[in-house]
Structure 1
Amino acid sequence: MTPLGGVAGPAVESAEDIDRPTRPAAPRRRIGSLEVLAGLLILLVILREPLSRVVSGPRLQTWTTVFVSVLVQAAPFLVFGVVLSAVIAVFVPRSFWAKALPSHPALAVPAAGLAGVVLPGCECGSVPIAGSLIRRGVTPAAALAFLLAAPAINPIVLTATVIAFPGRPEMAVARGVASLVVAVAMGWLWLRLGKAEWIRLPRRPDLDDASRARAFWAACRHDVMHAGGFLVVGAAAAATINVVVPAAWLQALAGDPVLSVITLAVLAVLLSICSEADAFVAASLTQFSLTARLVFLVVGPMVDLKLISMQAGMFGRRFAFRFAPATLAAAVLIGAGFGTVLL
C-alpha cells in the first residue's frame, strides 16, 4: 500500500532475499609480465620466417651482434651484484653502519664513501639502503656519499670495467678514483649547504617488515626488474647507435673534446644503465675518446633518469631537483679532469 503523499516507501526484503548469501565479486584478471613474455614468444614462433628474412640484412646482423654481446658480457655481473647486494642489505644490521662511521660528520663522509667498496650492487639498491642509513641516525651527507660511491667503486663494477677494457686497467683506476672524489665532494657540499627539510625519509616495507628470506627475495626481484630492464634498453641503444647513427656524425662529435664529453654524459643520463653493465656499453662506443667514456662511466651510476625518479619518490622532489643537477655537474667536471690526467 502506498503511503500518503504518493511517495513509495522502502522496499521490504523477503526472507529468501535475506538468507541468500552475497557472492563476492570475481577478481579481475590482470595481464602480467609472464603473459606478455608468453605472447611475445608465440609471436616469434609464428613470425620466425619473416623475421629471419628481415634480420638477414648486414646492418641488422651487426645490431644483433652488438646487442647480444653486451647482454652476454654484462648479465653475470648483474646477477651476482644483485644477489650479493640483497644479502648485505637484508642480513647485515643497518645499525652496524651508524656504529662503524666516525661521529664527526666531516669525517663520516669519506668513510661512508669508502664503505661503498664492501657493497656490490647497482644504484637501484643503494637508494633504499641510503634511506635506511638516514633512518638509523647516519648523517645525510654521509648517506648520500655512500649512495653515490657504492654503485661505482665496488669490486664487481671495477672488475667488469677491467674486463670490458682489456689492456687498459687505468680505466678502472680512473673510474674508481674519480667516482669516489665526486661522492665525497657531494657529501661535503650537502654538509655545507643541504637542509634537513629537503629530505623526506623513505620507508621500504618489503625489507623492513618481512622475514629475512622474504625480504631477500623481494630485494632481488626489485633490483633485477629495475636493473635488468634498463640493461636491455641500454644494450639496444648501444647497438642502435653503432648501426643507425651515421659514422660521420659520431666522428664529428667524437672529434671535439668538449662535445664528446657532453654527448656521452647526456647519453649516460638517458640510457640509465645498471652500473654492473655500463662498462660493456661504454667499451662498444669506440668512436669516442677514453676520457669521454670515463665521463660516461662516472655519470651513469650517479645521475640518470631512473635514479632521479627513485630519489624523487623516496627522498622528495625538493631533494632530487637540487641534488641531481649538482651531482651531474660535479661528475662531468671531475670525470673529465681525471680522464685528462690519467688517460
Structure 2
Amino acid sequence: MIKWANIFISMILEALPFILIGSIISSIIQMYISEDLVKKILPRSRFISIIFAAFLGIFIPICECAIVPIGRSLIKKGVPIAVAVVFMLSVPIVNPVVVASTYYAFKDINIVLIRVFGGIISAIIIGFLIEVFTSKKKQVVKVKSQYENICDCGCDVTDYFYNKSKLRLCLEHSNKEFFNILRYYIFGSFLSSLFIVLVKEEVLSNYSNGVILPIGIMMLLAFLLSLCSEADAFIAKGFLNYFGVPAVSAFLILGPMLDLKNAIIIGSYFKKSFAIKLISLIILVVLAFSISLTVIF
C-alpha cells in the first residue's frame, strides 16, 4: 500500500509543472494568436510545415503530460491536422531533456538515434495518414466543452470578463484547462500505479520469445505504466536484455505518443471518431516501425 501511494503521488507531483505550463501555453494560443498569424508563421508547403513541426520539440521542451491541449488549440487556430498531430506526437520525443536522459540511461547513441528518428518518422507517417482518413469538412475538436470558458455554475467566462483584459481571461482559461487535464491525469495515474505494483518484471520475462510478442508486451507496458518521457528510459533499460532493441524501442517511442493518461485526455478533447483513428494509427505505425527493426537487430 505504501509503495503504491509513493508511486501514485510521485507520478502526479512530477507532472504538475508540465501540466501547468501546457495549460498556460494552450490558453495563450487561444487568446493571443490569431489564425492569420499562424498562417504567416507556417511554411506554405505542407511537407515543409510537417518537418518544421516534427523538430519543434528541440526548442519547446514539453512532455506528453501537457501536449494534447496545445495540439488541440493549434487545430482550432487553423493549423492543418497533419501538422498539429506531428507536433503533438514528436515534441515529447525530440525534447532535449528526453534525449539526454535516454543517452544517460543506455550509454548507447544507437538507442538514442532510434528513439529520436524513429519517433519523428512515425509521427510524420501518422500525421499524413490521419489527414487522409479525416474529412476536411468535419470538426475533430470538441467545440462545445463544459471546461472551455464555462464556469462550474454555468456562467460564461467570456461574458463575465467582457470588459476585462485578455490577460485575466487567459488566466481564467488556464485555470480551467489545468484542472481539466489534472482530473484525467490523476485517474490515469491511479490505474498506472496499480499496474506497476501488481505486475512483476520476472513474470514478463517469461514472454520474451518470438518477434511480435515482445514488442506487443513492451507497447502494452508503455501504455499502462504511463511514465513521463523524461524518466521512462531508465525503466526501459531493465528490459533490454529480456526483450531486445526492437521491443525496447517500441516502448520508448509509443510511451511519449500514447499512454493511459494521454488516451483519456485525447478522448476528452477530441471527437470520438478522430480519437479512435489517432490512437489506432499510433499503435499500428509504432508496431510496424519496431517490427522493421528486427531485420537489423
The 8 Å contact of residues 113 and 150 in structure 1, kept in 2 or not, is answered as yes
User: Among residues 317, 321, 331, which one is paired with 2:272 in the alignment?
Assistant: 317
Match of residue 131, structure 1, among 49, 72, 82: 72
2:124 to 158, 164, 184: 184
- Helix, strand or coil at the partner of 2:79: coil
User: How has the CA–CA distance of structure 1 residues 254 and 161 changed in structure 2, closer, same or farther, with 3 Å as cutoff?
Assistant: same
Match of 2:286 among 304, 310, 331: 331
Query: Which amino acid is 2:26 matched to?
Result: A
Alignment: residue pair count:
274
Asked if 1 retains the 8 angstrom alpha-carbon contact of 2:90 and 2:119, the reply is: yes
Question: Is the CA contact 2:222–2:259 (under 8 Å) kept in the aligned structure 1?
Answer: yes
Kindly indicate whether the alpha-carbon contact (under 8 Å) linking 1:77 and 1:160 is maintained by their aligned counterparts in 2. Answer: no
Partner of 1:234: 192
- Greater Rg, structure 1 or structure 2? 1
* Superposition deviation, residue 295 in structure 1: 0.3
What RMSD, in angstroms, separates the aligned Cα atoms of the two structures?
3.5
Residue in 2 aligned with 1:256?
A: 210
Q: Is the 2:207–2:214 contact (alpha carbons within 8 Å) kept by the matching residues of 1?
A: yes
User: In percent, how many aligned pairs have the same letter?
Assistant: 22
Q: Which amino acid aligns with 1:288?
A: F
Query: What is the TM-score normalised by the length of structure 1?
Result: 0.65
Q: Does the 8 Å contact 1:121/1:276 carry over to 2? A: no
Which whole-Å deviations, capped at 9, do the CAs of 1:140-187 have from their partners, x for residues lacking one?
111111121123222233334344x15234433321211111111112
Question: Which residue of structure 1 aligns with residue 170 of structure 2?
Answer: 212
Output the amino acid matched with 2:148. P
Gaps of 5+ in 1: 1-50, 56-63
Shift of 1:279: 3.2
Secondary structure at the aligned position of 2:229 is classed as coil
Give 1:110 deviation, angstroms: 1.8
* Aligned-residue offset at 1:262: 1.1
- The residue type paired with residue 288 of structure 2 is L
> 1:14 aligns to what?
none
TM score, norm. by length of structure 2: 0.74
Alpha-carbon distance in structure 1 between the residues aligned to 2:177 and 2:233: 24
Identify the range of structure 1 (321-330 vs 300-309) with the bigger mean alpha-carbon deviation: 300-309
Call closer, same or farther: CA 1:269–1:197 in 2, change over 3 Å: farther
Q: 2-side partners of 1:151 and 1:260: how far apart?
A: 24
Deviation at 1:113, TM superposition (A): 1.9
Q: Deviations over 1:181-220 (max 9, x none)?
A: 1111112223444312454333462599563333444444
CA distance, structure 2, for counterparts of residue 69 and residue 162 of structure 1 = 24
* Residue aligning to 2:18: 81
List alignment gaps of at least 5 residues for structure 2.
Answer: 151-156, 159-167
Shift of the 273–198 alpha-carbon distance from structure 1 to 2, 3 Å rule, reads: farther
Distance 1:91 1:282, change over 3 A: same
Match of 2:233 in 1: 279
String of CA shifts for 1:238-268, please: whole Å, max 9, x gaps: 343226xxx3x43331233321111111232
3-state secondary structure, aligned to 1:202: coil
Q: Is the 8 A contact 1:85 1:125 kept in 2?
A: yes
Partner of 1:275, secondary structure, is: coil
For 2:80 and 2:188, the matched residues in 1 are separated by: 31
**Aligned equivalents of 1:337 and 1:71: distance in 2?**
38
Instruction: Sort the Cα spacing of 1:306 and 1:232 in 2 relative to 1 into closer, same or farther, 3 A.
Output: closer
Q: How does 1:103-122 map to 2 (within 5 A)?
A: 103-122=44-63
Structure number with higher relative contact order (C-alpha < 8 Å, ≥ 6 residues apart): 2
> Are residues 273 and 197 of structure 1, via their aligned partners in 2, closer, same or farther at CA, if it must alter by over 3 Å?
farther
- 2:249 corresponds, among 279, 294, 309, to 294
Quick one: distance in 2 between partners of 1:78 and 1:162? 22
Maintained 8 Å contact 1:200/1:314: no
Change (3 A) 1:115 1:316: same
